[in-house]
Structure 1
Amino acid sequence: MTRFDDLAAFAAVVRVSSFTRAAAQLGVSQSALSQTVRALEQRLDLKLLNRTTRSVSPTEAGERLYQTVGPRFADIEAELNVLNEMRGKPAGTVRITASEHAVKSIVWPKLEPWLLQYPDIKLEISADNRFTDIVAERFDLGVRLGGDVAKDMIAVRIAPDMQFAVVGAPAYFARHAPPRRPQDLADHDCIGRRLPTHSGLMNWEFKKRGKAVNMGVTGRLAFNNGELILSAALAGHGLAWLPGELVREHVAAGRLVTVLDDWAVSFPGYHLYYATRRASPALALVVEALRYKATA
């Protein structure tokens, strides 16, 4: 009978592009994993991986083999998790990727108390602002704003619509007149947000009476993190464009002032998404725990 342990080891290395990370996931030593993959190459009489001191990547033959066996091992693992959970207690690992803001404001606050009910369910939460391919990177769930979820994914709302606000500290407005229309932002020091998916800065979006305005803003500061943008705005370094819920407390306390309120735009709130309708019991429980339930 054909052996499959070496194929599983090979797939793990390709999936994470690292012998070190794959060995940690499989619970074996790096040297043992390397020896297993070399034995597979010898058995097939093919070079499957290109190895350097810094990276590991599949050869053409290795990529073809991975495309064949990788999804099958993922399906087998998912089915074994389902069978394992049929014993009576929901069990298994659910891997979630979400933006830092979504993790801090929704995902962790909802799941932290929920964990006590299901001691056999393990969670792995990755706070990452990239648009992660959950299938390629083997996440069970992803979280994005509703308008960014791919059409082939199953989407579940976990938050209400999100309204963005332009805010500045009183100290900033002591030096600058407040903008009255989006175009006035060209004369202001705006704190930019660097997008993780490409090198550009995020445009600020506005809408009033059906008229949409998309502004490319400039300023002395730019960050890739909303908390840092908020901190800079509180210190009076410029204007920021942030989710209303992130600044609401500071506005109420007078530490920040909103402008262009009549131009404020809303986006579909956070949705979680996943790729298969055959969800394991553990995955289904996590989805239900995060599902948005509007209050009267």
Structure 2
Amino acid sequence: MAKRNLNDLMAFITVAREGSFTRAAAQLGVSQSALSQSVSGLEASLNIRLLTRTTRSVSPTAAGDKLLKSIGHNFDEIEAQLNELTEMQGKPAGTVRITCGDNVIETTLLPRLTPLLLAYPDINVEFNVNYGFCDIVAERFDAGVRLGDTIDKDMIAVPIGRPMRMAAVATPDYINKHGTPAHPRDLTDHMCINMRFPTHGGLYVWEFEKDGQKLNVRVDGQLTCNSSPHIVRAALAGLGIAFLPDVEFAPHLDEGKLQRVLDDWCVPFDGYYLYYPSRKQPSPAFSLVLDALRLR
């Protein structure tokens, strides 16, 4: 097959996976017009439409989806083999893509990976902030970061964070005005800041435990968010009681801007894990990232 056809196939695969000519062009380092011509040329040579284009999105047609599934992994394998050849020269290289939340980047991932990145300039790390439960295989991530009890059983999970606790918090002004809840059921009488799951759209039910007794509480309030940084800011603004892992509130608790409530109902649980597919052979670059993040 001619080289040009391989380039056109790579162009199609990248656009189909990214769902955007703009993002695909940035990833491949080409112009959007050149990328569009490559895909159009491939469609013309095959005499079939591979992508459905609208002003807002790009998605594979049935034929395009079939082509993507049949050849996409071959390009991934070629890229992996080329990375291995580079790494055989004693210079681990390549990009490690990790999907995770905001806070864990700041508190764990970036501090531990900074020395590695300085030592190995040919290793790149890409963080994708995503609060949903995405399919890391389908979306081509090398790994994800989640709390231990939310990871699928067919994944390899490596602890990277120590046990954590949830924390229900509010500003001192809010507590002075509305009082302190003595029991989780009292939260139904308070303004609470809700978390909506990005994946399935449901509201998070607050989970408490004390002396072996577990209690779930559905709360209500004026504000609902789908990301923890916004919940923290809303709590600091006095909009109600928030409920997240206490590391999200740590600096504000230390400074007294936020105060804990129902602390005796918040028990420790497993912290963050880095997880990746069990059937995937880790590259040398990924192995170095994994070793840097592993909890010791």
Name which of 265, 268, 288 aligns with 2:267. 265
Deviation at 1:99, TM superposition (A): 0.5
Q: Any residues of structure 2 matched to 1:221-240 within 5 Å, and which?
A: 221-240=223-242
Pair 76,219 (structure 1): closer, same or farther in 2 beyond 3 Å: same
How do 1:235-246 and structure 2 match up within 5 A?
A: 235-246=237-248
Report what 1:152 is aligned to.
154
Note if 1:54 corresponds to 2:62. Answer: no
1:249 Cα deviation (Å)?
4.1
| Maintained 8 Å contact 1:99/1:130 | no
**Offset, 1:262:** 2.0
Q: Which residue of 2 aligns with 1:198?
A: 200
Deviation per residue, 1:173-198 (Å, 9 max, x gap): 21223111111111111122222123
Deviation of 1:236 after TM superposition, in Å, equals: 3.0
Identity among equivalent pairs (%): 54
Work out the CA distance in 2 between the residues paired with 1:214 and 1:42: 57
Per-residue Cα deviation, 1:210-246 (whole angstroms, up to 9, x for no partner): 2211111011222233233223323433211121223
Q: Sort the Cα spacing of 1:20 and 1:251 in 2 relative to 1 into closer, same or farther, 3 A.
A: closer
Pair 1:245–1:30, CA change in 2 (3 A): closer
Q: Which residue of 1 aligns with 2:90?
A: 88
Q: How far apart, in 2, do the equivalents of 1:205 and 1:116 lie?
A: 41
Greater displacement, 34-43 / 187-196: 34-43
What is the aligned-residue RMSD (CA, Å)? 1.8
In 2, the alpha carbon distance for the partners of 1:109 and 1:273 equals 19
The 8 Å contact of residues 154 and 277 in structure 1, kept in 2 or not, is answered as no
TM-score (norm 1): 0.92
Contact residue 102 and residue 229 of structure 2 kept, 8 A? no
Do the aligned residues in 2 keep the contact of 1:98 with 1:126 (CA within 8 Å)? yes
Residue matched to 1:137: 139
Whole-angstrom CA distance in 2 between matches of 1:179 and 1:163: 18
Instruction: Go from structure 1 to structure 2 and tell me whether the alpha carbon gap of 1:45 and 1:228 turns closer, same or farther (over 3 Å shift).
Output: closer
- Tell me, yes or no, if the aligned pair for 2:51 and 2:58 is still in contact at 8 Å: yes
1:119 aligns with one of 97, 118, 121: 121
Cα 1:5–1:230 change in 2 (3 A) is: closer
SS of equivalent residue, structure 1 residue 175: helix
Q: Which residue of 2 aligns with 1:282?
A: 285
5+ residue gaps, structure 1, are none
Paired with 1:224 and 1:244, the residues of 2 have a C-alpha distance of: 17
Aligned 8 A contact 1:166 1:242 in 2 = yes
Q: Secondary structure at the match of 2:244?
A: strand
Match of 2:13 in 1: 11
TM-score normalised by length of structure 2: 0.92
Equivalent in the alignment of 1:292: 295
For the residue of structure 2 that corresponds to 1:123, the secondary structure is strand
